[in-house]
A and B are shown apart, each in its own frame.
Chain A
Amino acid sequence: MRLALLVLLSRGPAHGYELKQALERLMGAAYPQPNIGQVYVTLSRLENAHLIDGEDVAQSSRPNKRIYRLTEAGREAVAGWFEEPVEPKLRDDFFMKLALAHETGAADQIALINKHRRYCLNAMRDLSKLAAAEDRDHRISQLMIEGAMLHLQADLDWLERCQEELE
């Protein structure tokens, strides 16, 4: 959430609740609703790290609100983040289990594959339902769901290969 908040502040000053709403609008149902407490904690950490500056603004009928803006260091952090390469999701804990089951016989490898397949199919089903329930026009959310489904699809295809090779 750190970077998401920083990047959102790069388009102008905002207070915590505005940022929470902006995140929700962006991600839609494909991402768990950010908790407002978490947003405030993250903002105060970013402030302590001098990546953002906060300023209290008095409101007539309500408590003060704190408006945050990006500092120069914050701007650099945003640029640096976009510059950083992103590691594709290739590490697979399941593969460790399968490899060790195959090597030692400590667990039945076909049973492991079947169990993992069930897990992936159930996750796929949940995502299909989520995609159907979510607004079709919310492109970011639909793309995120689509990406997750394609990963699962690849996992399931790969499980078929494992089964063919190991059975």
Chain B
Amino acid sequence: MSPDTSPSAPGSQPMVKALGLVKTYKAEGVEAKAVRGVDLHVEPGEFVSVTGPSGAGKSTLLHLLGGLDRPDSGRIWLDGRQVDSLSEARWAVLRRRSIGIVFQFFNLVSNLTVADNIELPALLAGKSPRQARTSCEELLTELSLEAKRRSMPSELSGGEQQRVALARALVNHPRLLLADEPTGSLDSKGSREVMRLLSRFHQRGQTILLVTHDARVASTADRVISFFDGQVVDDAVLGGPEHVPSSVADILKLRD
């Protein structure tokens, strides 16, 4: 547990609150319920992962919370504001200012340099070119990408591209960072690097909601929600008071 994730004061707003979320997809006339009545609370400063088998609906849940997809029913509040009935345009503004999103396949703009990819959302959010440049430079340093500022995305490794995507997601200091399988197309070194960075931003107070099928990645968070068949089946605080940190000897047993 990170020391500075003190629980928010009573009465303060949860960063994410969702009630009764339902989302059904129709494919070839067959209805598939991806999200079947989900309630969710995420407090400011929490790092929460949602894990479960592929097809369990966890990415759909993240898309609903980021306004990339609309629920059939249910309500969503972000930072105290009800957002489920916002128009497309208002969602776009909200995402620009308050929500950073990282995807499995990076989604960088292929004909822009690394620096331009990172500055773009800052400019779109109304920052001056100089402010955008300053924020970009800070993040490049932070993410050890200074040497790559003029590279094109295709010249980077997967891990580097995801770090650029992370910088882009964080450039406007979003209240909430959503990450959808951020290590899903990375090798183990790239995954470790991205998870280390997410942990570091979390320790500085960034609220993160991460979706992953990878238990190892999920266990980096302070809280793990298990998702099955469109529903929350377990919600566990890791490293909580009931967890006695096991000595490694308990886990790694060499036989005498």
Q: Do A and B come from one complex?
A: yes
Where the two chains meet, the residues of A that have a C-beta atom closer than 8 Å to any C-beta of B are 1-2, 4, 29-32, 110, 114, 117-118, 120-128, 130, 132, 144-145, 148-149, 152-153, 156-157, 160, 163-164, 167
Whether A153 pairs with B215 at a CB distance below 8 angstroms is yes
Chain A residue at smallest Cβ distance from B228: A163
Q: Is B219 touching A124 in the complex (CB atoms < 8 A)?
A: yes
- Whether, in the assembled complex, B147 has its beta carbon less than 8 Å from a beta carbon of chain A, the answer is no
Q: Name the contact of A125 in the complex, choosing from B196, B219, B234 (C-beta under 8 A).
A: B219
Q: Are A1 and B256 in contact (CB under 8 A)?
A: yes
- In the bound assembly, the distance between CA atoms of A70 and B215 in angstroms comes to 45
> Which residues on the A side are within 8 Å of B243 (C-beta)?
118, 122
Determine if A164 and B215 form an interchain contact, defined as CB atoms under 8 angstroms apart: no
The verdict on B216 contacting chain A, using a C-beta distance below 8 Å, is: yes
> CB-CB < 8 A to A1: which residues of B?
256
Interface set, chain B 206-256, CB cutoff 8 A to A: 214-216, 218-220, 224, 226, 228-229, 233-234, 236, 238-239, 243, 245-252, 254, 256
A126 and B246 CA atoms in complex are apart in Å by 7
Interface residues contributed by chain B, number (CB under 8 Å): 29
Q: Please, which residue of chain B has its CB at the minimum distance from the CB of A130?
A: B248
- Residues A121 and B248 in contact, CB atoms below 8 Å apart: no
The CA-CA distance from A160 to B218 in the complex, in Å, is 14
A118 to B219, CA, bound (A): 10
Instruction: Say if the beta carbon of B126 comes within 8 Å of chain A.
Output: no
B53, CB-defined interface residue at 8 Å: yes
Among residues of B, the one whose C-beta sits closest to the C-beta of A125 is B219
Known pairs A117-B234, A121-B236; A128 contacts B216 (CB<8 A): yes
Q: Hey, which chain B residues are within 8 Å of A124, CB to CB?
A: 215-216, 219
- Whether B248 lies near A31 (C-beta < 8 A) is yes
Kindly state the separation between the CA atoms of A30 and B252 in the bound complex, as whole angstroms. Answer: 8
Complex Cα distance A157/B218, Å? 13
Chain B residues closer than 8 Å to A144, beta-carbon distance: 252
C-alpha gap A107/B229 in the complex (Å): 23
Is A153 a contact partner of B248 (Cβ separation < 8 A)?
Answer: no
Contact across chains for A32 and B249 when beta carbons are under 8 A apart:
yes
A-contacting residues, B120-151, CB 8 Å: none
Chain A to chain B: the 6 pairs with minimum beta-carbon distance, closest first: A156-B215, A124-B219, A32-B249, A114-B234, A125-B219, A118-B236
* Chain A nearest Cβ from B53, distance in angstroms: 5
Which residues B181-205 have CB closer than 8 A to chain A?
196
A35 to nearest B CB, angstroms? Answer: 12
B251 contacts across to A, CB distance below 8 A: 123, 126-127, 148, 152
A117 and B226 contacting across the interface, CB-CB below 8 Å: yes
Q: What B residues does A149 contact at CB under 8 A? A: 216
Check if B52 is an interface residue, CB within 8 A of chain A: yes
